[in-house]
Amino acid sequence: MELFTPFGLSRMSEVMMSVIHASVPSAPYTRLPRFTAEIAEPIEAASWALCDTGVRQHAVRDYQQQGYAVVQVHGSASTTSDLFTLAKALNLGAPFTPPVYKNSPHTSGGVSDISARKDGAHPFEGSRGQDLHCDGTLQHLGEVPTTILLCSAPAAEGGVTYLVNLVDAYTALLRTDPEAAEQLAHDGALKRTSGSHSVIGPAFTEQQPGHLMSRYSRTVTDRYYALPGRQGALKRALAFMDAAARPGSAFRTEVVLDSGQALIFANDQMGHGRTAYLDAPSRPRLLRRGLFTTRPCA
């Protein structure tokens, strides 16, 4: 098997972009019928407890039909306690702490603080951009279906969060190039690594017939492997998915989270990343992240 990293792809990805925009399917695998490249309007709430049943139902419906929801509480300090309150309102249970973060200085009680620190080694601690990924690097596919990002303070400049509709992009690939799609679905397709630990498995699989899940990621610690003799097909698959994740793609949407806003998304259907940013010295960017092993319900 041959491995491919996120670098060194040819002009093929540019060619595939035109195919992607023309190939978004409606069946059999499309999971997110309301997803568009335009970010959804925030759902206004009086508090993170989401006491209004209609607000809770709206958030759950957006999550189910477009892969994410943005909830907004004006004047909120957006504390760790607020994230717990929001999770409880959506019946998500307690945040899940991946074992790799058990002793991490940036994670406490299942909530990770994402803020730039001088010489920060971890992506949580830097202001550089983050490549496309799914949360839970060493967790098995589907183990972490939900992520919440709660903004306490935005960056002074940059810090755009982007979401990529991975399951519908993969459906488009499956329809246009089944051989390429196969290279992302076999048991040895993707090796994700954190420190000295790695997990190997498919990047895409069916949760149940007709329903896809994903752990597709394109960071420097991710490696892809082709089935024997299918290196060219893997290169086509990665070029297609890379094009789907670029700005301007029909499968990508972007949001700059502001104070008092929370992004709730389906981590096993949507990939996400972040552009680089600059902080205001008096008020650095701060997001709080929680991972959950359940899906929201009203």
Widest pairwise Cα distance in the chain: 57
Structure tokens at 136: 């839970």
Give the length of the chain: 298
Structure confidence at residue 120 (pLDDT): 60
> How many CA atoms, within 13 angstroms, populate the side-chain half-sphere of residue 85?
18
Phi/psi at 12 (nearest 5 deg)?
Answer: -50, -40
Q: Which domains does the chain possess?
A: 3-117+127-292 (3.60.130.10)
Nearest to 128 by CA among 287, 249, 279, 265: 279
Listed in sequence order, the residues at least 6 apart from 257 whose beta carbon sits closer than 8 Å to its beta carbon are 70, 149, 151, 154, 159, 161, 263, 287
**One digit per residue, pLDDT tens: the chain, 298 residues?**
545 544 333 333 443 444 444 333 344 666 799 999 999 999 999 999 999 999 999 999 999 999 999 999 999 999 999 999 999 999 999 999 999 888 777 788 899 999 987 666 666 668 899 999 999 999 999 999 999 999 999 999 999 999 999 999 999 999 999 999 999 999 999 999 999 999 999 999 988 777 899 999 999 999 999 999 999 999 999 999 999 999 999 999 999 999 999 999 999 999 999 999 999 988 999 999 999 999 999 9
Residue type, 192: R
Question: Per DSSP, which regions of the chain are E strands?
Answer: 3-4, 43-44, 68-72, 107-108, 111-114, 130-133, 146-153, 157-158, 161-165, 190-194, 197-201, 204-208, 211-214, 222-225, 252-255, 261-266, 270-274, 277-278, 286-292
Euclidean distance between the first and the last CA atom of the chain, given in angstroms as a whole number:
45
* Residue whose structure tokens are 């259907």: 269
Please list, residue by residue across 112-130, b when 16 or more beta carbons sit within 10 angstroms of its beta carbon and e when fewer do. Answer: bbbbbeeeeeebbbbbeeb
Provide the phi-psi class of 66: left if phi over 0, else alpha when psi is between -120 and 50, else beta: alpha
CA 227, 229, 233, 235 dihedral sign is positive
**pLDDT for res 196:** 92
| pLDDT in the model for residue 119 | 60
pTM score, two decimals?
0.90
pLDDT of amino acid 105: 78
* Degrees to nearest 5, angle at CA 5 with 179 and 292: 85
pLDDT at residue number 126:
80
* Contact criterion met (CB below 8 Å) for 191 and 222: yes
Name 206's bridge partners: 212
